[in-house]
Each structure stands twice: as structure tokens, then as C-alpha cells.
Chain A
Amino acid sequence: MSAHIEVAGLNLNFPLYHASGRSLKKVVFSTVTGRMGSDAKHRIVVEALRDINFSVRAGERVGLIGPNGAGKTTLLRTLAGIYEPVDGRVTLCGRLNALLDPSLGMNYDLTGRENIMLRGLYSGLDQAAIRQLEEDVSVFAELGEFLDLPVRIYSAGMMVRLGFAMATAIRPQVLLMDEWILAGDAAFWDRALLRLEDMVRGAEILVLSSHNLYVVADWCTRVLWLEQGRVREDGPTEQVLEHYLGHPLRPQQEAKQPVGAAR
């Protein structure tokens, strides 16, 4: 079966547990005094996603754009199965790799090598494949002897290189990317871009959240414009970007091929 994503009627609220909301005492006493109902109603929630509907077929490359706090990262996390919907339905078929956070759940006290091994085990790789993963990551990240030192002492650049190399070594069918992956120093960036494009090309579905509209225009065949947790517009890249910006992204068309369009 080919990969696909189906989102229907998705709502997601974030409960805000400030200091008192987390207290057992508050809940117990409000239950005792019969104020539980009003307490539940007064619980502060952030409505992160509102009534999201879309479906993605194999071969589509979707860009998520929108201002900060529009719900891009939350939507990616929901697609990755981290947040479960309060309302609605999320269906995702295909092997998934979600690059949501530069730390990738790394443990900073462990060495680079140990973190690579954990990542490999998480992905269900066997010993041989983990060794291969280690080799691949260490060559690409150029960490040398630092690979056997705790990640804590790495420079910021080394940390990004390790995270990036690890994230891009395992090929998924469905690739969810947050824009941190597009950050990096210039020297690293050329090599990184090649590797990233290679991975994007190999994936059946890409969902990329980014503020960099040029990357979105280059890579995506379709754009979801989120605003305040709702889909403001969903359509072909050029059309949505033009509405988003109020003018075409590239006034004189350079006719650049999207990465994924070659397939």
C-alpha cells in the first residue's frame, strides 16, 4: 500500500497547567466542595488546531506556512502521533520519520556513538544496520574523536551536524520536517542540502513546515496556509504563496524544478 495521510475534523486543545492547575490539592478540594464542574470549565486551554481537514496522497510534497503560533509544529507533532487529537481523526500510512526537534530526543550525557545506537534501536535496526548507521553519521557529521565524547561538550555546530546526520540517515516513506533542519552554517549547508534533497526525493510524502518560502516554493507541490490553528488556504504552491505574500514569490519566473517533481 502506498503512503498516505488523512486528517478529518481535527481539533487540538492544549491544557495550560500553571502552578495551581497541576496541584492535586486544588482538584481534591474543589471536588469536595462541589466546584469540580466549574473548575473543569475554567481550565485554560489554548486552541492550537481548529477543524483541520486535508488528505495527502503518495507523491505529494506539502509545505506548511503561516505566522508563528499558527499551529505548524503542533500539526506536525499530531501527524507524528505525539499529540493525540481531542476531536477528529488522523490516519497515516507508511514508515514515518519525523524531524521535529534538533535534539531528536538525544541524551546529552551520552556520547555521540551511544545516541546513534539508541536512534538505530528505536528505528528497529539490527546490529549490522546500526554499525552502518554509525559509520554513515560519523562520516557525514565529521565529528572524529568527538563521537566518543558526551554530546554535552559539543559545540552548537557539532550538535546540529550530529542531529542532522542522524535525522537524515534513516529513509522514511513519510517525512515530516520542521524548519530547524534548514538552519545551519554556510559551509555545512551545501553538503547538507544535497543529503536532504536526496532524502526528500526518496520519500513518498513530505510535510515541511517552514518560514523560508523559497525552500517551500522549490520543494513543495502544495501548500497549507495555517492561521490561528485553522487552514486559511490549501492549494498549489504558487497560488497559495501568492495570496500569502500578496504578490508572486518570484516575479520573473526562473522556472526552477521542484525537488520532488522529477519522480
Chain B
Amino acid sequence: MSIALQRGAATEVTLELHSGQSFEQRQRQARRDLREAVRLWRLCWTLAFLDIRLRYRGSMLGPFWLTLSTGAMVAAMGVLYSELFHISLHEYLPFLTVSLVLWGFISTLFSEACYSYVANDGVIRTIRIPFTLCAARTVLRNLVVLAHNIVIVAAVDLFVRTSPGLAGLLAIPGLALWIIDALAIVIILGALCARFRDIPPIVASVVQMSFFVTPVLWKPQLVTSYQWLLPVNPFYDLLEMIRGPLLGEIPSATAYAAGLGYSLLLCAAAWFLFARVRGRIAFWI
């Protein structure tokens, strides 16, 4: 006969749901959602890893296909654009590599964020699962991909015999901020895209446009008269926080201030939206 898998008596779960909640109560529910997601962190990791493994199941190189394709792109574009911009390859290649790897994370995150709830509709309608867990899964999955691509940055550094030095350590707080912002973006876009199904194409075109107006392929120094406008672009500020250190430069105080300011706004927006609509998401997907 079947075995009984009893959890300890201390884990008794109480569910209390009611309507007409004040914003304070909604926030409490949202915090609880977050707490439950943290409690289930092992599930979250496993889901993210299985996502990657599933995507590359049966392929020989697995996720390193991504590394390879990014590497090929960096090599081809590096040669062409250093010629176009009249910059030495030695100087341009590390910049382009870091930029493309980081932008790859941003653009995939935005497009996958749109489906972070919708793609989990089966689970969400079957068991009560914290929504922030679905969001964290999307972020973690993309972090795993980013970790694979970072290999190229190291390879290029070896190739052109350069190293970021101690300034590289500043990339760590930058990355921490990115993770928080990424979670906020997924929480916002996941909910909006569940409600309004025409948002994903809008997001895709905004990200595409940002790719060209943000210094990803071109160096920020190339802008001369409108240099002051660069920090207005949140993508620039956030990009600088990791890219600068990885290239051995310390980002400017303006970039830090603007990046932190934008992140604060983003997180506040995510929190208010999440507290407001969390209970409705199950009806939308």
C-alpha cells in the first residue's frame, strides 16, 4: 500500500482569501506570495534548469550552442564594425562582446517576460503557486544562459590580452541590481501580457528600437553634442553598470544615479501593479 509522506505538523498551511481588500491587505498578500516563492527556491532552480535542459535535450553541445552562435556573431560583427567605426579591433572587440552578451540577456528577458504567466497556465490553474515563482523562473533561466555566454567575454579578453582588473568587481553590485530589475520587469510584463494579448509585439518592437538608440554596437563616446542625453536612456545606465566594470572602467556617477533612480521607479511600479492585480492573474491566463 502507499506510503504516507507527511510533512511536519509545523507546516500547516492556512489560506485566507477575501474580497474588498484594502491596499495594505493586498500588499500583505503580495508579500506572502514573495515569501512562498522564496520558500520554494529549490523548485524554482530546478524549473529553470529543466527549462534549459529541455530546450537543448538531444543536442550535443547543449546550451553551449548559444555560446557558439554569440561567438560567431561577435567575430563577424567585430571585424566589420571596427572597420566602419574606424576603431582598432583590439579596442572594439571587448566592447562589442560585453555589449552583445548583455543585450542578449535584456532582449530575451523582455520577450520571455511576456509569457512568464501565460506559458504556465496549466500549473497556475491546477495548484496554488506563487506568481513570483513563475517570474523568478524566467529570470533564473536567463541568468543561466548569461552565465554560458560570459565564457565568450573571457575568451575575447584572453584573445586581445586584456583584463578588467579590480574594476571588474564593480560588476557584481551591477549584476545584483540587474537581477532585481529583471524580476520587476517580468512581474510587470507577465501580468500586462496576460491581460492584454497585443502587448508582446509592442514590447518586441520597443526592445528592437532600443537596441539601435542605445550604445550597444557603437561606443557612447561617438555621440558628441548630445552626450548629456545618454543617461536619459535607462538601458544605457543599466548597461554601463556591468559593461563599464567588465571593460575595466568605473561607470560615471551620473550613470549610477540615473540607473538607481530608474530601478527604484521600476520596482515601485512592479510592486504596485503586482499587489493590485495578483488575485486576477489566474482569471486572465
Residues of A with Cβ closer than 8 Å to B?
1, 11, 14-15, 17, 22-25, 27, 77-78, 80-96, 98, 100-101, 103-107, 109-110, 114, 117-118, 121-125, 129, 132-133, 136, 140, 168-171, 173, 194-195, 198-199, 202
Q: A93-B14, A110-B50 are in contact. Are A132 and B43 (CB under 8 A)?
A: no
* Interface status of B86 (Cβ within 8 A of chain A): no
- Complex contact A122–B122 (CB within 8 A): no
Q: B49 to chain A: closest CB distance in Å?
A: 10
User: Which residues of B have CB within 8 Å of A90?
Assistant: 15-18
Q: A2 to chain B: closest CB distance in Å?
A: 10
User: Which residues of A have CB within 8 Å of B195?
Assistant: 17, 22
Q: Given the complex of chains A and B, what is the CA–CA distance between A89 and B128 in angstroms?
A: 17
Stretch at the interface among B5-13, B95-103, B179-187, B237-245: B5-13
- The range of chain B's interface size is 35 or more
Q: A84-B17, A103-B122 are in contact. Are A132 and B7 (CB under 8 A)?
A: no
User: Which residues of A have CB within 8 Å of B2?
Assistant: 136, 140, 168-169, 195, 198-199
- Quick one: CB contact mask for B213-225 with A, threshold 8 Å, 1 for yes? 0000000000000
- Complex contact B5–A171 (CB within 8 A): yes
Q: B27 to chain A: closest CB distance in Å?
A: 15
* 8 Å CB interface, B156-201 against A: 195-199
* Interface status of B61 (Cβ within 8 A of chain A): no
Q: Given the complex of chains A and B, what is the CA–CA distance between A123 and B20 in angstroms?
A: 30
- Complex contact B196–A27 (CB within 8 A): yes
Other 15 A-B pairs with CB < 8 A, given A84-B282, A96-B13, A107-B54: A85-B18, A87-B20, A89-B17, A90-B16, A95-B11, A101-B126, A104-B126, A105-B126, A114-B50, A117-B46, A121-B42, A122-B43, A124-B7, A169-B2, A195-B2
User: Which residues of A have CB within 8 Å of B125?
Assistant: 77, 82, 100-101
Residues of B with Cβ closer than 8 Å to A?
1-7, 11-20, 39-40, 42-43, 46-47, 50, 54, 57, 122-129, 195-199, 202, 279-280, 282-284
- Complex contact B198–A194 (CB within 8 A): no
User: Which residues of A have CB within 8 Å of B122?
Assistant: 101, 103, 105-106
- Complex contact A103–B12 (CB within 8 A): no
Q: Given the complex of chains A and B, what is the CA–CA distance between A125 and B3 in angstroms?
A: 14
- Complex contact B12–A88 (CB within 8 A): no
- Complex contact B11–A124 (CB within 8 A): yes
Please give me the 3 A-B residue pairs with the lowest Cβ-Cβ distance, nearest first. Answer: A105-B123, A84-B279, A89-B18
Q: Given the complex of chains A and B, what is the CA–CA distance between A207 and B202 in angstroms?
A: 44
Q: What are 21 sample pairs from A and B whose C-beta atoms fall under 8 A apart? A: A1-B12, A24-B198, A81-B15, A84-B282, A89-B17, A89-B18, A89-B19, A91-B14, A92-B14, A94-B14, A95-B12, A96-B13, A100-B125, A103-B126, A110-B50, A114-B50, A124-B7, A125-B7, A136-B5, A169-B5, A173-B12
